[in-house]
């Protein structure tokens, strides 16, 4: 299915509507019918320009869920709407479901699904840590600033410890965020992200830059049986 998420697809759609605008006056038939088609075509062109030049870049955009990393909150093949302006007017908060540009560490940590390291992908996860937060996963639970976090939305409790050094929490630096999938044990997220370095095999790289956040997930609109606002 065409998602019109590439520039050439949008340009092609606009081009098709413009070509129809030229061809419609030459169609045989009643003048009133051609006038109705021209009005419909003009309305369609205006709608396309509003959606792709105003709403989608700055206000709201549809996204497709490609994996089960956010189950049970979001299932594979769900379609959602994301508020792209959200973090222009307010700060991210723990618990937000966010769409973001995946960092390079996410590609290195899952090479089977990310063979092209130059490709830019959008991920969706739950934000669990903001600048200044101290995070740890131990005893099947996430702790933030020394307090256990109640997470009734999880598929299963995490069966891993994070970070590997149990004596140190992860301190989220300024301008960075930490994200986990709700399907904690089957999610390519901050707890897994590593980067190769010179002189060392890998270093932990769990952060997403604040300016990589594309928006906050708002609602599921497809399938209809699962349509609901995300909280």
Alpha-carbon dihedral of residues 100, 106, 110, 116, nearest 10 degrees? 80
Catalytic pick from 69, 109, 187, 190? Answer: 69
The span from the CA of 17 to the CA of 141, in Å, is 54
Catalytic pick from 109, 125, 187, 190? Answer: 125
Q: For 70-107, b where at least 16 C-beta lie within 10 A, e where not — what string?
A: bbebbeeebbbbbbbebbeeeebebebbbbbebbebbb
Residue 81, both tokens: 């709407």
Q: What is the DSSP letter of 205?
A: -
Is-catalytic flag, 187?
no
Measured in degrees and rounded to the nearest 5, phi and psi for residue 32 equal: -65, -40
Is-catalytic flag, 125?
yes
Q: What is the DSSP letter of 162?
A: B
| Closest among 78, 5, 41, 33 to 230, alpha carbons compared | 78
Residue 83, both tokens: 């508020």
Alpha-carbon dihedral of residues 104, 106, 107, 112, nearest 10 degrees? 170
Handedness of CA 226, 65, 162, 174 (dihedral sign): negative
- The single residue listed with the structure tokens 């009643």 is 30
Enumerate the active-site residues.
69, 125
């Amino acid at each position: 299915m065409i998602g019109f998420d590439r520039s050439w697809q949008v340009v092609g759609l606009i081009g098709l509507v413009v070509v129809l605008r030229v061809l419609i006056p030459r169609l045989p038939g009643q003048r009133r019918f051609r006038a109705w088609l021209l009005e419909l075509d003009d309305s369609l062109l205006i709608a396309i320009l509003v959606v792709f030049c105003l709403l989608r870049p700055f206000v709201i955009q549809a996204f497709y869920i490609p994996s089960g990393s956010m189950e049970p909150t979001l299932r594979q093949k769900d379609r959602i709407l994301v508020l792209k302006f959200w973090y222009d007017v307010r700060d991210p908060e723990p618990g937000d479901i966010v769409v973001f540009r995946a960092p390079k560490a996410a590609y290195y940590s899952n090479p089977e699904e990310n063979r092209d390291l130059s490709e830019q992908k959008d991920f969706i996860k739950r934000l669990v840590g903001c600048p200044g937060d101290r995070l740890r996963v131990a005893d099947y639970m996430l702790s933030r600033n020394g307090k256990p976090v109640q997470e009734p939305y999880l598929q299963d409790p995490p069966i891993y410890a994070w970070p590997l050094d149990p004596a140190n929490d992860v301190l989220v630096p300024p301008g960075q965020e930490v994200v986990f999938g709700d399907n904690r044990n089957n999610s390519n997220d901050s707890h897994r992200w590593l980067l190769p370095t010179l002189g060392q095999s890998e270093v932990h790289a769990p952060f997403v830059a604040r300016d990589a956040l594309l928006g906050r997930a708002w609602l599921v609109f497809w399938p209809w049986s699962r349509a609901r606002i995300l909280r």
